[in-house]
Structure 1
Amino acid sequence: MLIPRLAATGGSLAVVVTVTMVGLLDLTVGPLRRTISEYALGDHRPVFDVAVVLLAAGSLAILHALVHKGLTRWRSTGAIALTLWSVGLFLVVVFPKTNWAMGTNEVSGSIHRFGSMLAFVSLPIAIIALARPWLKDNMWGRHARWTMASGLLSIVAFMPLLYAIALSVVSDVRWWRVFPLGYIERILLVAEVGAVLVVGLWAIAASRVAEWRVGETSRTTSAPRTTSSTTTVRS
């Protein structure tokens, strides 16, 4: 029980530290109209890089705890999507956005943009997929419903970006000029990081439960059984 508990607790703490670090940058540097990624173009890049890496690593640690306790499988939709979320975050760190003030680096900027979109799109899919099989479970239903709600909130937060992109396709308006991108990005980040933290709290709760009880079959939910007679894993 020690390994999943350490992974769940450490991952959740990493998420909290990430929010704190970015929040401190916003309070001391700003302005909020600028995108968060712009912090990586100046003297504050180490802070930005550490914060994003902590978020990516913390998410993987939480996923490890969920898999270890039988709440999902590595090859499930939720696990794959949460892994892609972390991969996208790592890409954001390795490939900074284009710094127009220092000349163009369009390859790095394009990969950075792809990593951002990969992360933002993958996270809601991961959260909803992880929650769905457990919504009616006697033991984990409440955690699953909170998780599902946070995933749906992430989708709502992502809608302004989708609208801006769609508008740019049918008009001459650049998608990043439709809304103040910095504000929208921060709303989305808070929603998605909050969703990861909700999953982290679920993983912490599961890590405190005896192994044989974590995957008990609910009387109200039909779920596929593994080869073990005592543990049910849902994907």
Structure 2
Amino acid sequence: MIELMPPTALARTFAAAGSVAVLTGVLAVSALHVLPPTASISPVRRTISEYAYSETGWVFNLGVLVLAAGSLAVCVALAYAKLIRPASVASLGLLLWSAGLAAVVYFPKHDWSVGPSTHGTIHRMASLVAFLSLPLGALLVTVMWRRERRWRGSVWLTAIPALAALAFFSVIIGAYLLTPYTGRPWWDVIPLGFVERGMATFEVLTMLALGRWAWRASSTPRR
């Protein structure tokens, strides 16, 4: 039974299962970019969440939920590998990423053919929390282990995509702050779909780097 497994075996199990789930969820959502009927949606101007209103919206919802579950498994693996404490700001950031993804599915974005909605507002806030909490949580993990020589490679593999995700996020913040000067809605000032997809890509790479780190930590003799 799983409760009889040693912590190192549990860490490897959760790290492997979580990483596979993350990749599976990403592949499911990525397929919507090239398969009809969603292939016609502009990846440059339209957000990823717009796929939820298509005939294959269930693929988007399932893919995001699988991504959330895989990310949660990686977080558990990090805890079993003793890279993070369960009750820490770093683990909170990683957990908020998974919770935010689940909320994005439960509360769909605004259906602009109908108009603004409460669930659309919640969706936007959940997206904000998810996209911001993961890179910040991951960077906190790297800060904790930056002086450990054996984890130097893992630190950089995690920090670089996390910083890149925050760089994409800053483009959205900049567009929002410039609204009074541009006189246009912030989402029309930038190629929002491209920026969001770039941010999502680096968020996923950050999670995969954390999964790899948890696997390595569980396979390395403790000092």
Q: Does 1:183 align with 2:194?
A: yes
Within 5 Å, which residues of 2 pair with 1:23-34? 23-28=30-35, 29=39, 30-32=41-43, 33-34=45-46
The one of 76, 87, 103 equivalent to 2:88 is: 76
TM-score by length of 1: 0.85
Q: 3-state DSSP class of the match of 1:140? A: helix
The one of 33, 49, 65 equivalent to 2:61 is: 49
The one of 141, 150, 168 equivalent to 1:139 is: 150
Alpha-carbon offset, residue 171 of structure 1: 4.5
Q: Which residue of 2 aligns with 1:95?
A: 107
Q: Which residue of 2 aligns with 1:11?
A: 18
Q: Does 1:39 align with 2:46?
A: no
CA root-mean-square deviation: 1.4
Q: 3-state DSSP class of the match of 2:190? A: coil
4+ residue runs over 4 A deviation: none
Q: Distance in 2 between matches of 1:105 and 1:48?
A: 21
Q: Distance in 2 between matches of 1:46 and 1:116?
A: 18
Contact in 1 for aligned 2:75/2:94 (Cα 8 Å): yes
Q: Distance in 1 between matches of 2:108 and 2:81?
A: 36
> Over residues 54-106 of structure 1, what are the superposed CA-to-partner deviations in whole Å (9 max), with x where a residue is unaligned?
111111111101111111101211101111111111110000011122x2351
More helix by share: 2
> Over residues 92-145 of structure 1, what are the superposed CA-to-partner deviations in whole Å (9 max), with x where a residue is unaligned?
0000011122x2351010000000000111111111001111112032222112
Letter in structure 2 aligned against 1:115: A
Q: Mark the runs of 5 or more structure 1 residues left unpaired by the alignment.
A: 217-235
What percentage of aligned pairs have identical amino acids? 37
Q: Does 1:202 align with 2:213?
A: yes
Q: Distance in 2 between matches of 1:17 and 1:157?
A: 24
TM-score by length of 2: 0.90
Q: Distance in 1 between matches of 2:17 and 2:177?
A: 39
Q: Which residue of 1 aligns with 2:5?
A: none
Contact in 1 for aligned 2:25/2:64 (Cα 8 Å): yes
Within 5 Å, which residues of 2 pair with 1:123-134? 123-134=134-145
> How many residues are aligned here?
211
> Over residues 23-78 of structure 1, what are the superposed CA-to-partner deviations in whole Å (9 max), with x where a residue is unaligned?
21111223213210000112121111111111111111111011111111012111
